[in-house]
A and B are shown apart, each in its own frame.
Chain A
């Protein structure tokens, strides 16, 4: 990782009010869900980082916090050295230009009444880029997402494009302002396998040629592995492991990561069908276990795990993990 991080997240938390049950009302209790509960990580320039985890682990909320789409309950996000929460007016506008979101569902991401050209021109207009540059910028973005035939695509409307073409246009829109950071939440989950491969290859190319950093958020570890240099694993609002992707996949340290890696089916008949090293279900996010949040599902839990919250610390080979066993 570079000495000057592009993105520096420290002790970030986001708590949402949870629906009150009858018992809560009787006790005057206002329950909260700690969707993100004290996470820290950095992303260096040109670094591609994936956040992986199951529903409710806080990965989507993390992405929204990073882009300042929701305010944090606590903690700080520094982008290029500046606290994102402090940004106003022109500085905020510049941040919006430099940190771009790729929408999950390409079928909803574009205004159905705008042609591809108008969809791509919109961010250029919003950011006040000189009009004579528009056509060249649009052409460049389309070329980068491998839709170089402008005559064929620019005057089309979203309903006239296939899912794969739409997602390419969505990606073109995200990179047209030459952002420094791309945040994509489940960027291919709506696409069929054969089309998905093309988008994943584009994301890899973006990493290798455009010089931007990216935060990819997905439940799919195989996808994260394909495009990300580094992988962060989240469980119930916390980071449990953070390391070089191949290390995390090949030699998972945290017991939760081990279960997650073991659970991913592979497209070959010869594969392990051994019982997963995990018990029970994800607990109620309103009342997570004391100490380590994974302890009630962990096959190796010890008394210490209930008493002490394990910190995320260096366990060697550039891997951080939060587990008393390591």
Chain B
């Protein structure tokens, strides 16, 4: 497996009044070249922070450290801020959740794309205009609309335009932060299809940050599940979603309604994630986990790798049995 991105024990902490907040704690996973990886978890799990740390766009109060952050074999953690900035947008690109934060309301959309091409890609004005038209054609927007302002675009079109901007300089990796969350379901599907299609045609890798496991199931080859700042499970989408080995992933899949399947009873996970300034010792999910044992509450769980399906859980080898138990409401209700 050829890893385009290899994240090894990456941590991000913020200084806060109460001390350090460990938003991401020793996260490790790889993004193979030409794949779509879903980075999934609930609010505050660190998924957006992790994506931003890879992109190198972090507030000054954030401290990023780790064993390595290898992109095309180069350790990004060892680069100077200047070298880092040069990589951003040319090799790595970012699609934010709301396109309005990528687009400036006072400039025409075409001018904004041209700006990226000229300033960062060294295009001439004429070449930039031609490339902007090509990019709009790629994301399925009529090139006449390059002359319009962002507010004249619908939500789906704005998100397509921010995909166009992200792809302008032919990056190898696109980090997309909840790119379809704010969109209606039909538009969401259309934008995901544009992104998937371009990813396949251009041989890109995409990290899709989302809270929605059905979006992951639809669009991703691989999945990384985060909980309370840590990666708890990773593997192919099929392995992780159909045969989860971590109780949190089991909980997430059982809590999610499935429109195409039988109307099974949803299984809630009682409690809420821990505060990241004082995380519990041992496994961070232990306080909500119906399967937690003494060692789970005291020792950091072991990383169990079964042919590339990684679960960070002391009981991962019992996963098949735990999955059956986790599907029952009573199993989790006892935790409330």
Contact = CB atoms under 8 A, between A and B. Distances in A.
Interface of A: 54-55, 146, 162-164, 192-198, 200-201, 219-223, 225-226, 246, 249, 259-261, 263-269, 271, 273, 275-276, 278, 281-282
12 contacts: A55-B184, A193-B211, A194-B42, A197-B267, A221-B259, A249-B259, A265-B218, A267-B216, A268-B242, A269-B217, A269-B238, A269-B241
B39 interface: no
A223 B263 CA distance: 10
A85 to B, nearest CB: 32
B185 A192 contact: no
Given A194-B252, A197-B267, A266-B217, A226 B257 contact: yes
Contacts of B188: 263, 265
Interface of B: 42-43, 154-157, 184-190, 192-193, 211-218, 237-238, 241-242, 251-261, 263, 265-270, 272, 329, 336
A268 B241 contact: yes
Contacts of A197: 254-256, 266-269
A281 B157 CA distance: 10
B260 A201 contact: no
A265 B42 contact: no
A69 B215 CA distance: 36
Which 5 pairs of residues, A with B, have the shortest CB-CB distance?
Answer: A198-B268, A194-B269, A197-B266, A197-B268, A222-B257
B218 A271 contact: yes
A225 B262 CA distance: 11
A134 to B, nearest CB: 26
Contact of A269 (B155, B186, B242): B242
B178 to A, nearest CB: 13
Nearest to A245: B263
Contact of A268 (B157, B217, B251, B269): B217
A263 B189 contact: yes
Given A263-B186, A271-B217, A192 B211 contact: yes
B265 to A, nearest CB: 7
B156 A266 contact: no
A54 B154 CA distance: 13
Given A193-B252, A198-B268, A259 B186 contact: yes
A265 B189 contact: yes
Nearest to A223: B257
B20 to A, nearest CB: 23
Contact of B251 (A194, A265, A267, A282): A194
A276 B260 contact: no
B255 A260 contact: no
B217 A219 contact: no
Contacts of B329: 201
A260 B43 CA distance: 27
Contacts of B184: 54-55, 219
Interface centre among A146, A195, A282 (most CB of B within 10 A): A195
A198 B260 CA distance: 21
Contacts of B43: 192
A260 B185 CA distance: 7
A225 B263 contact: yes
Contacts of A276: 186, 189-190
Nearest to B255: A197
A8 B134 CA distance: 53
A278 B266 contact: no
A260 B252 contact: no
B266 A268 contact: no
Given A194-B269, A268-B258, A281-B187, 7 more contacts: A193-B211, A194-B251, A194-B268, A200-B257, A264-B185, A271-B260, A273-B218
B259 A222 contact: yes
A266 B258 contact: yes
Nearest to B184: A54
A193 B42 contact: yes
Contacts of B157: 281
- From B184, B213, B253, B259, residue with most partner A Cβ within 10 Å: B259
A265 B213 CA distance: 9
A48 to B, nearest CB: 13
B287 to A, nearest CB: 13
Q: Which of B190, B193, B215, B268 is packed against the most chain A CB atoms within 10 Å?
A: B268
A162 B253 CA distance: 22
Contact of B268 (A201, A263, A265): A201
Contacts of B218: 265-266, 271, 273
A191 to B, nearest CB: 9
* Max count, chain B CB within 10 A of own CB: residue among A146, A265, A273: A265
A6 to B, nearest CB: 24
A196 B255 contact: yes
Contacts of A225: 257, 259, 263
B258 A278 contact: no
A142 to B, nearest CB: 14
A267 B213 contact: yes
Nearest to A192: B42
A70 B155 CA distance: 27
A219 B211 CA distance: 17
B210 to A, nearest CB: 11
- Counting chain B CB atoms within 10 Å of each CB, the highest count among A197, A273, A275, A278 belongs to A197
Contacts of A246: 263
A197 B238 CA distance: 23
A266 B242 contact: no
A197 B332 CA distance: 12
B185 A263 contact: yes
A273 B215 CA distance: 12
B266 A200 contact: yes
A267 B58 CA distance: 32
Nearest to B221: A269
